[in-house]
Amino acid sequence: MELKTISQVSKAFKVSTRTLRYYEQLGLLKSQKTEEYAYRVYDSEAILCLQQIIILRKLRIPLKQISLIVRNRNASEALEVFRNNFQDISDEITALSTIRSILATFINTLERETEIELKFDLLNDEAILKVIDALTLTKINFKEEKSMKDLSKASEKLSKLTDVRIIYLPPATVAASHYIGEEPEKNSGEALDKFVKESGLCDIKPDLRHFGFNHPNPVDQNSIYGYETWVTIPDDMEVPAPLEKKKFEGGLYAAHMIQMGNFHEWEWLWEWVRSSSDYELNVIEDNGECMYGTMEEHLNYINHIKADIGGSEAMQLDLLIPVKEKNKK
């Protein structure tokens, strides 16, 4: 039985090692540790399972439903999941077809106009307004495809972001927790959570924010890397060792919210910034040591820490890339 290291699997399937570990936390994947390898390894059964997960994710099946399919191995369970998602997609296609029909009506009406001046009388058509009012906002645009190649192309088309926000993060004083080794996000996060609870920070600073980033970034064929976690604190607050007190300079960021585990959407956000007509990258030149100044913000952290909620599929993160307006210093 051939075993693959976590870095080999990550590279072969273009899935981050962090995503693989998250799939394990959800019980979707199982890795092993052997004397031959210092890192986690996957057997052929685990790799086959990962292939199935990747296909289901491209079909826009949520991780929670994928978990039901993978854990139960029950055809009736899978059938129910597929039926529900098929119905959701059918509803979206119906809504999009209606929108397309209305746009065609607008085009035909405008093409018949003898003058170029645009008049919006057609937007007052009661029949059209009733149809528009009945439309529901669609979650995604979906196009039925038949092959894996076409499925991948469809997935790429759907990865173009339309909901990126440009936000300003103010300067702040932070308590920083840094860990290098296995599961650095978990270990650095637990140390910071302990500080937050013991110091009563939630009551002292109810507007606290929680950030994190790789430090250092992982390198090829090496799954060991570091992660640094921050929480904002009052300027005069003391921070116990091994935590460090630091200053965050703040700045302008392109932000995209993801559900915990969807770290592949980092590339979508990078692509949005690269193709933006209004903004450009304003990253730190650190050779990737600290993710070039990019960060992840744990949204609603204060409620999670008060309720003692750990890693969860329901957790939301903001992916943050430093940007600046084009043609401006």
Q: What is the mean pLDDT of residues 95-110?
A: 79
Contact 29, 9 (CB under 8 A): no
Contacts of 262 (CB under 8 A, 6+ apart): none
Whether 238 is covered by a domain: the verdict is yes
Whether 245 is covered by a domain: the verdict is yes
Whether 46 is covered by a domain: the verdict is no
Q: Which SS3 state, helix, strand or coil, does residue 314 take?
A: coil
Percent of the chain with pLDDT over 70: 81
Strands 172-181 and 244-248 turn out to be antiparallel
Rounded Cα distance, 280 and 296, in Å: 19
DSSP bridge pairs for 317: 258, 298
Tens-place pLDDT, residues 240-274:
999 999 999 999 999 999 988 888 899 999 999 99
Contact 297, 209 (CB under 8 A): yes
Determine which of 55-69, 78-92, 139-153, 237-251 has the lowest per-residue pLDDT on average: 139-153
Percent of the chain with pLDDT over 90: 37
Q: What is the mean pLDDT of residues 4-15?
A: 85
Whether 146 has a pLDDT exceeding 50, the answer reads no
Q: What is the CATH number of the domain that holds 286?
A: 3.20.80.10
* pLDDT score recorded for residue 140: 40
Whether 206 is covered by a domain: the verdict is yes
Q: What are phi and psi of 255, to 5 degrees?
A: -120, 140
Strands 316-325 and 295-298 turn out to be antiparallel
Rounded Cα distance, 231 and 195, in Å: 10
* pLDDT score recorded for residue 167: 97
Whether 14 is covered by a domain: the verdict is no
Whether 83 is covered by a domain: the verdict is no
CA distances in angstroms from 186 to 176, 178, 189, 192, listed in the order given:
14, 11, 5, 10
- Helices within 14-158 (DSSP H only): 17-25, 44-58, 63-72, 75-112, 126-134, 148-158
- Cα 16 from chain centroid (whole Å): 12
Most confident of 82-96, 172-186, 206-220: 172-186
Most confident of 18-27, 144-153, 164-173, 305-314: 164-173
The CA-based angle 267-153-27, given to 5 degrees, is 60
Total tally of structural domains belonging to the chain: 1
* pLDDT score recorded for residue 182: 81
Determine which of 131-145, 158-172, 265-279, 315-329 has the lowest per-residue pLDDT on average: 131-145
Whether 226 has a pLDDT exceeding 80, the answer reads yes
Whether 143 has a pLDDT exceeding 80, the answer reads no
Strands 165-169 and 172-181 turn out to be unpaired
Contact 16, 263 (CB under 8 A): yes
Tens-place pLDDT, residues 27-45:
889 988 877 766 778 999 9
Q: What are phi and psi of 49, to 5 degrees?
A: -65, -40
Q: What are phi and psi of 246, to 5 degrees?
A: -135, 165
The distance in angstroms from the start CA to the end CA of the chain is 57
Q: Which residue has the higher pLDDT, 4 or 149?
A: 4
Whether 297 is covered by a domain: the verdict is yes
Tens-place pLDDT, residues 182-200:
888 989 999 999 999 999 9
* pLDDT score recorded for residue 275: 92
- For residue 40, which of 76, 5, 13, 72 has the smallest C-alpha distance? 5
Whether 221 has a pLDDT exceeding 70, the answer reads no
Q: Which residue has the higher pLDDT, 73 or 250?
A: 250
Whether 161 has a pLDDT exceeding 60, the answer reads yes
Whether 133 is covered by a domain: the verdict is no
Query: Hey, what's the torsion of the CAs at 181, 259, 189, 248, to 10 degrees?
Result: 100
What range defines the domain where residue 201 resides? Answer: 165-325
* pLDDT score recorded for residue 206: 95
Rounded Cα distance, 254 and 238, in Å: 31
Whether 176 has a pLDDT exceeding 90, the answer reads yes
Determine which of 101-105, 149-153, 200-204, 206-210 has the lowest per-residue pLDDT on average: 149-153
Structure tokens at 39: 């890192």
For the chain, the average pLDDT equals 83
* pLDDT score recorded for residue 178: 97
- Cα 244 from chain centroid (whole Å): 28
* pLDDT score recorded for residue 109: 72
* pLDDT score recorded for residue 19: 87
Whether 327 has a pLDDT exceeding 60, the answer reads yes
- Helices within 200-264 (DSSP H only): 201-204
Helices (H) then strands (E): counts for the chain: 11, 11
